[in-house]
């Protein structure tokens, strides 16, 4: 357009040369100015207003991330007695205390830790909680120098959209960094039993077998969770245990090696109006017992589970068991009422319950004991741990099972 306009002006030859010269100078100045501005412009700050770049963040935090190898021996499985799994962990104290997932180290006979510099050390289990999938292991501190330590942050201030990073050893690939955002907070894993549910951080940062136990970091490099689970068949859906929950569990794992919980020993579900309408049988509102745990206070008190199975919309239900309608004066109308009740109970609490059997209510008293380690607490029994073959990386999967309530 500039050339055609110049050609239409009087004295276009001389004028066009002048214009070309001016345009050339302007372009040259603009280019020079742009180059100078580019050279003078500071590098963009790290996300979240933190002072360090992502490469600097990785260099700092990755030194505290370790690779974990574990061996368990099953004397009852002659075809595959030895199982090897791999995972990740993060050093949280210079004394050698390492945070990881329970499903990586709990129930293992040998635990080996490989540091960022390649040093391999034997570790011992300090404590584990299979329900929250949190564990502490310990390695001997070095004779010279000190171990690099990660900083535990604050997960209560997380919001959807915040950028996060996962560091771990997916599929045996040491010190791998993946990047994503917080997709949801306070997420309950689909398929987890109600009593085993915990508020998770959901992220689209890539999490693979072997990442288990590694840190999930905020933009400042602080640990805001440890990666724990993925949804089989899904893409970019991973979960991490929030660090605020972890900080509450750590002192108990150090002092007692476990989290002490009261235990009644029943499994079941609530009787909902739709179930009564569908079955056309005289069910009362309350908690329907489907199964009673062996050795539990419920078994000792004579509570009875279901006797025949019925499948409704693909979900099985055991009918014919006792129905708990009240506990210590609290009407068990829904899971929220049960959660409120359980929050005030502890080991040794005395329960007075109203139980309906064959349409007849009766009073029953029992005392809660400490919940023991149950079969599905062991690695691979509840969450579908992936550990196929020698050196298989460990992951905590989920299943589409309905939300059975157990307490």
Taking phi over 0 as left and psi of -120 to 50 as alpha, with beta for the rest, 210 belongs to: left
Give the pLDDT of residue 193.
53
Give the pLDDT of residue 399.
44
Catalytic residue status for 322: no
Residues in CB range of 311: below 8 A, 6 or more apart: 317
State the catalytic residue, choosing from 67, 72, 103, 383.
Answer: 103
Catalytic residue status for 343: no
Give the pLDDT of residue 358.
87
**How far is residue 153's CA from residue 218's CA, in Å, rounded to a whole number?**
8
Give the pLDDT of residue 122.
96
**How far is residue 85's CA from residue 394's CA, in Å, rounded to a whole number?**
5
State the catalytic residue, choosing from 129, 133, 322, 377.
Answer: 133
Could you tell me how many residues make up the chain? 407
**How far is residue 89's CA from residue 95's CA, in Å, rounded to a whole number?**
15
Give the pLDDT of residue 319.
87
**How far is residue 351's CA from residue 262's CA, in Å, rounded to a whole number?**
11
Give the pLDDT of residue 191.
53
Q: Which residues of the chain have pLDDT under 50?
A: 1-46, 382-391, 397-402
Give the pLDDT of residue 43.
42
Helix (H) or strand (E) holding 3: helix 2-7
Q: CB–CB of 201/185 below 8 Å? A: yes
Give the pLDDT of residue 231.
76
Give the pLDDT of residue 354.
95
Catalytic residue status for 154: no
State the catalytic residue, choosing from 88, 155, 183, 212.
Answer: 212
- The tokens describing 72, both together, are 């368990």
Q: CB–CB of 323/287 below 8 Å? A: yes
Pairing outcome for strands 82-91 and 392-393: parallel
**How far is residue 194's CA from residue 270's CA, in Å, rounded to a whole number?**
12
């Amino acid at each position: 357009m500039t050339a055609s306009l110049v050609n239409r002006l009087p004295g276009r030859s001389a004028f066009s040369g002048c214009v070309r010269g001016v345009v050339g100078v302007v372009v040259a100045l603009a280019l020079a100015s742009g180059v100078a501005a580019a050279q003078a412009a500071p590098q963009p700050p790290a996300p979240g207003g933190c002072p360090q770049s992502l490469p600097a963040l990785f260099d700092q935090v990755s030194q505290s991330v370790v690779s974990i190898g574990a061996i368990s021996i099953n004397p009852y499985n002659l075809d595959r007695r030895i199982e090897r799994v791999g995972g990740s962990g993060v050093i949280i104290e210079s004394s050698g205390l390492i945070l990881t997932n329970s499903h990586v180290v709990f129930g293992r006979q040998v635990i080996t830790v490989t540091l960022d510099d390649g040093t391999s050390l034997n570790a011992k289990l300090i404590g584990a909680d299979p329900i929250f999938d949190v564990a502490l292991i310990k390695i001997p501190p070095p004779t010279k120098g000190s171990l690099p330590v990660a900083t535990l942050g604050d997960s209560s201030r997380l919001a959807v959209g915040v950028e996060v990073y996962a560091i771990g050893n997916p599929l045996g690939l040491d010190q791998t960094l993946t990047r994503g955002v917080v997709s949801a907070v306070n997420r309950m894993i689909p398929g987890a039993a109600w009593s085993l549910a915990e508020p998770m951080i959901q992220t689209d940062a890539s999490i693979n077998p072997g990442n288990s136990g590694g840190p999930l970091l905020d933009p400042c490099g602080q640990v805001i969770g440890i990666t724990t689970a993925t949804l089989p068949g899904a893409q970019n859906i991973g979960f991490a245990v929030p660090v605020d929950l972890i900080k509450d569990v750590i002192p108990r794992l150090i002092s007692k090696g476990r989290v002490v919980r009261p235990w009644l020993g029943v499994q079941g579900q609530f009787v909902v109006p739709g179930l009564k309408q569908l079955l056309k049988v005289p069910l009362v509102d309350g908690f329907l017992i489907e199964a009673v745990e062996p050795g539990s206070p419920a078994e000792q008190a004579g509570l009875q589970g279901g006797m025949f199975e019925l499948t409704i919309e693909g979900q099985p239900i055991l009918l014919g068991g006792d129905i708990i309608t009240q506990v210590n004066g609290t009407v068990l109308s829904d899971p929220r009422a049960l959660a409120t009740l359980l929050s005030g109970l502890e080991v040794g609490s005395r329960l007075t319950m109203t139980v309906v059997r064959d349409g007849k209510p009766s009073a029953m008293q029992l005392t809660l004991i400490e919940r023991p380690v149950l079969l599905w607490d062991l690695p691979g029994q509840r969450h579908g741990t992936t550990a196929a073959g020698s050196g298989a990386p460990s992951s905590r999967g989920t299943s589409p099972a309905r939300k059975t309530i157990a307490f």
